[in-house]
Amino acid sequence: MKDLKKAKKGVTVKTPAKVNLMLAVHGLREDGFHDLTSLVAPLDFADALTVQALESGPDQLTCSMPGIPVDGSNLVLKAAVAFRAVTGSSRHYKFQLEKRIPSGAGLGGGSSNAAGALVAMNQLEGAPLNNEALRGVAADLGSDCPLFIEPQICLMRGRGDQIEAAPKVLVASLTGQPIFLFKPGFGVSTAWAYGALKSANPSAYTKTAVVQSCLRGDLRALIFNSFEEVVGHKYRAIGTLLNDLRARGLVCGMSGSGSCCFVLPGSSALKQKDLKPIIESAWGDSVFFVETALD
């Protein structure tokens, strides 16, 4: 994981958000998960997690953002339990999470935090696990978690646990691209979103041929999300705003199962002062909005 630093007491790691530039859900698997293909890019926008070893248990977690659970339901504490189970370590840890990434957004914040915890604990213990083993532990925590062990622009397949390098030309064209993120004052449940796709089967699922078309196209053709129609049907504010932005000629989409959306200005001269008023006029002035870059 990038930007892992030794702190005075412990290790601090940057845990980035991600954006799904392309997300195609193909159908339900026999194991109950969904088959998907996604082009994922980590962002410069990130949380910071400091991890310290404790003399005795239990594990401890504090978070700077109100409303984030700090009990055993948090993926960071689940990561500590999983790390001990795999390594046989009896060590416990104190986690201090400086949180910027909103929850329920489709930006992978919780998954990134968990992966960061695994990477930091592994360093504190002398690196008993290589990155492949860390990805295996991460996969048991959640489908998005493995991609954050070594964050990079990549393709995710399977249920999200199969990670492969994206085409080099595509990576070169996307790396460093500015991106605007914006989220309404509500989240979207990932479980609900997958259930909505399943209920709309087969029309809501995306054929694999669409993936190749997206990857061969320009930036506008690349942006695709199987969830956008079902999410937009229930949460009309999302679909209405994205349609308005596209009518203005902007390249935009929704990340994950929502509710966070994005605009890629590409080579245009679009500035935050031009875009933010449009978002606020649709979603109110309390909207989450940040300008960052594909990392």
Q: Which two tokens stand for residue 292?
A: 């960052």
- DSSP assignment letter at 294: B
Residue in 174, 199, 45 with CA at minimum distance from that of residue 107: 45
Positions marked catalytic? 18, 144
Integer Cα distance of 62 and 40 in angstroms = 29
Residue 190, Cβ neighbours under 10 Å: how many? 17
- CA distances from residue 35 to 156, 160, 189, 223, 226 in whole angstroms, order as listed: 10, 8, 18, 19, 12
- CA distances from residue 37 to 160, 178, 185, 198, 212 in whole angstroms, order as listed: 8, 23, 28, 17, 10
